[in-house]
Amino acid sequence: MVQNLIQHINGITPLTEEEEGIVAELVREKTLARKQFLHRAGEVAQYSAFVVEGCLRSYAVDRNGFEHILQFAPANWWISDMYSFVKNKPSELNVDALLETKVLLLSRSCQVSIFDRIPKLERYFRILTENALAASNHRTINYLSLPAKIRYEKFCTMYPTLINTIPQKSVASYIGITPEFLSKLRAEF
Amino acid sequence: MVQNLIQHINGITPLTEEEEGIVAELVREKTLARKQFLHRAGEVAQYSAFVVEGCLRSYAVDRNGFEHILQFAPANWWISDMYSFVKNKPSELNVDALLETKVLLLSRSCQVSIFDRIPKLERYFRILTENALAASNHRTINYLSLPAKIRYEKFCTMYPTLINTIPQKSVASYIGITPEFLSKLRAEF
DNA sequence: ATTTTTTTTTAATCTAGATTAAGAATTGAA
DNA sequence: TTCAATTCTTAATCTAGATTAAAAAAAAAT
């Protein structure tokens, strides 16, 4: 389990064996059943989760009860409610499991305290956050400038694995359309 | 000029006088005329810019020639094409000045090399990037779950200063509607 | 295996917001 | 100032995608 995370970190900022040991002590393993929540809207997000196996999602529920997915996290991705996690304030996102999922949990206080002991980890998270921001910007531009059909096609090429593992209505929620309309788009091949 | 940046950094990770001196040597001052480009789509973004005075914007141009604004940067904000700046690849964004604007430029190579000498600066940028990602996530959720009228109202309360300094069509572009439709929304008060 | 729940499809109708086109108002440049 | 360019408004028409409703299909749970 922890080995997956260490490999991921080593791919960005190689650690010494001692540092690897410290990382292993910082995180806590957890298995989430399908539909089990990691974080609920209104609470303060205590943890950021590294997905070892399975898939999580974060999403908001609007005033009409519709869900809007912000992020999918398949294996080797981090997920949290960044706003809540960083500001230590309650926020609007839920995080739950789309499938049975194994995660490693890192609390914000652990994370922040480790940055002084292992600056490499501050670098690791700095780089991950830069990448996430670049990806988020790209998504925003897509959303502003492309019609639904092309957003769907791009989703398929971007997340080929997810297409076959998560329900189609989740894809619709992520790309910002209704499941009925996605069904219609797919019917046109 | 540089003093504005140093104050901004000190608000997040206080620097020693020596460190302040190093920062001052790293950045380059520049004044951009209204409509002057800092970065053009298709080129690699060499610089991240800290706005001292005025306002920049980043935007993409779609296949029909329409502009879609990703970010405004008024005083005390950083702006760049994060994807291009970080990956050192050409990207799809333009950055130009909405008004005459004074900026401080920091090259990626300078930035990265300074992280080893002054880890506080890596922390500074890590925190800024976390905040930017949280804000970007919030915008995505708004875009997925709120109608145009409410997105406009939120924009007005979020950026009260901008409303009176930038053209209304730029607001429309940012919130993802046409200028004609924004005009119609405003007519309903 | 059977039942229940969830997901997907289809189709008719509706609407938020786009498009097109002109004129009016602002702004900026010379 | 005056002229040219840009921005804003109004109004008619159009459309991508939403809504509503039901039935069909698939997946979970028992």
How far apart, in whole angstroms, are the C-alpha atoms of residue B138 and residue B133?
8
Q: Binning pLDDT at 50, 70 and 90, where does residue B188 land?
A: confident
**Contact B129/A130, CB-based, under 8 Å?**
yes
Mutate to test the interface with A, among B141, B146, B149, B170 (most CBs of A within 10 A): B141
Nearest CA to A83 out of B80, B132, B70 is that of: B132
Taking contacts as CB-CB distances below 8 angstroms, the residues of chain A near B125 are: 126
How far apart, in whole angstroms, are the C-alpha atoms of residue A112 and residue A117?
10
Q: Which position has the higher pLDDT, A46 or A164?
A: A46
B33-50 pLDDT, tens digit each: 989 999 999 999 999 999
Interface contact B176, partner A, CB < 8 A: yes
Q: What's at B138, amino acid-wise? A: H
Token couple for A185: 């788009």
Closest residue, CA to C1' of D26: A167
Tokens 């990382």 -> residue? A23
pLDDT of residue B63: 86
Taking contacts as CB-CB distances below 8 angstroms, the residues of chain A near B114 are: none
Q: Is the pLDDT of residue B142 over 80?
A: yes
Give the global pTM: 0.94
Q: Binning pLDDT at 50, 70 and 90, where does residue A64 land?
A: confident
Length of chain A: 189
A145-178 pLDDT, tens digit each: 999 999 999 999 999 989 989 999 999 999 999 9
Taking contacts as CB-CB distances below 8 angstroms, the residues of chain A near B137 are: 70-71, 82-83, 93, 136
Query: ∠ at Cα A133 (A151, A39), nearest 5°?
Result: 90
Token couple for A171: 């894809």
- Please give, rounded to a whole number of angstroms, the shortest distance from the CA of B12 to a CA of chain A: 14
B2-118 fold:
Jelly Rolls (2.60.120)
A2-117 fold:
Jelly Rolls (2.60.120)
pLDDT of residue A91: 86
B148-162 pLDDT, tens digit each: 999 999 999 999 989
| Cα–Cα distances in angstroms (integers) from residue A146 to residues A151, B83, B91, in the given order | 6, 19, 17
Q: Binning pLDDT at 50, 70 and 90, where does residue A53 land?
A: very high
A70-112 pLDDT, tens digit each: 999 999 999 999 999 999 999 899 999 998 899 999 999 999 9
On whether the CB atoms of residues B86 and B29 are closer than 8 A, the answer is no
**Would you kindly state where each structural domain of chain B is located, as residue ranges?**
2-118
Tokens 């001196």 -> residue? B21
CB distance under 7 Å to strand C: residues: A 167-169, 179-180, 182-184, 186-187; B 34, 64, 66, 147-149, 176-178, 180-181
Token couple for B111: 């930035």
pLDDT of residue B55: 92
DSSP state of B108: H
Q: Binning pLDDT at 50, 70 and 90, where does residue A1 land?
A: confident
Contacts for A100 with CB less than 8 Å, ≥ 6 apart = A31, A32, A33, A34, A54
Strand C nucleotides where any atom sits below 7 Å of a protein CB: 6-12, 16-21, 28-29
Q: What's at B176, amino acid-wise? A: G
